[in-house]
A and B are shown apart, each in its own frame.
Chain A
Amino acid sequence: MKFAIAVFSPPHAPSSRRALRFAEAALAGGHEISRLFFYQDGVHSASANVVAPQDELDVAARWRAFISEQGLDAVVCIAAALRRGVLDDEESRRYQRPAANLPAPWALSGLGQLHEAAQLADRLVCFGGD
């Protein structure tokens, strides 16, 4: 079966890790993830500038590694990301900001990508909360 997974919480929220564990279990169970979509505070889970304390799980880094290793389509909502200071190179130049914090494998795009993912998947599963 095909899953679309949407993450609405930052990497320090338990639900970001929960979404990651669910995604891993879905793939391990022989299912497919057609897209990961990061919205609202979930855009922080895509930031490359998160520095977790050494003795704590670095959920943002785990997301990055998981997406790269599995070759997944990972979309960050551009409007939600700009509002929260999560920018790729192009946006940091466009708005003349000093830094970009959204390198590959992430892609900035619009909410249409969430709708497309929901249309193409068998299940849309959203994660947020504590």
Chain B
Amino acid sequence: MTTLHVIAHSPFADNRLASCLRLLGIEDALLLCGDAVYALRPGSEPLRDLQAMNLEGRLFALKEDLQARAIDGGLAKAVDYPAFVELSLHHDKVNSWL
């Protein structure tokens, strides 16, 4: 069964992203929202970690959080709320890293 993992904490403040990447299955997807989108900052360490994971087509970021922080999604596909709802249904379950 596939999982949509959701992270909403800055990757510079704790180890949620690092732990999530260790547990991410090959068919799982990751949605970054809130301060987690700072992981997509060009030149940053977490972006290098994400790039090393081969997440093409499985990495998403909430569009409003990218826009608010002046971050270009780049590696991640930007999604709005209707797309977030559809993503949650496309996977068998949603695991939010609270």
Contacts and interface: CB of A to CB of B under 8 A. Distances in A.
The answer to whether A and B touch in the complex, with CB atoms under 8 Å apart, is yes
Nearest to A129: B8
A128 B96 contact: yes
Interface size class of B (residues with CB under 8 A): 20 to 34
B34 A15 contact: yes
B10 A26 contact: no
A26 to B, nearest CB: 5
Interface in A85-130: 122-130
Interface stretch (B22-30, B40-48, B51-59, B78-86): B78-86
A53 interface: no
Contacts of B94: 123-126
Contact of A29 (B35, B82, B98): B82
A52 interface: no
The main secondary structure of chain A at its interface with chain B is: mixed
B34 A21 contact: no
A12 interface: no
Contacts of A25: 80-82, 84-85
B89 A122 contact: yes
Contacts of A22: 81, 84-85
A64 interface: no
Contacts of B93: 123-124
A23 to B, nearest CB: 9
A65 interface: no
B9 A129 contact: yes
B7 interface: yes
Contact of A129 (B82, B84, B88, B97): B97
B6 to A, nearest CB: 8
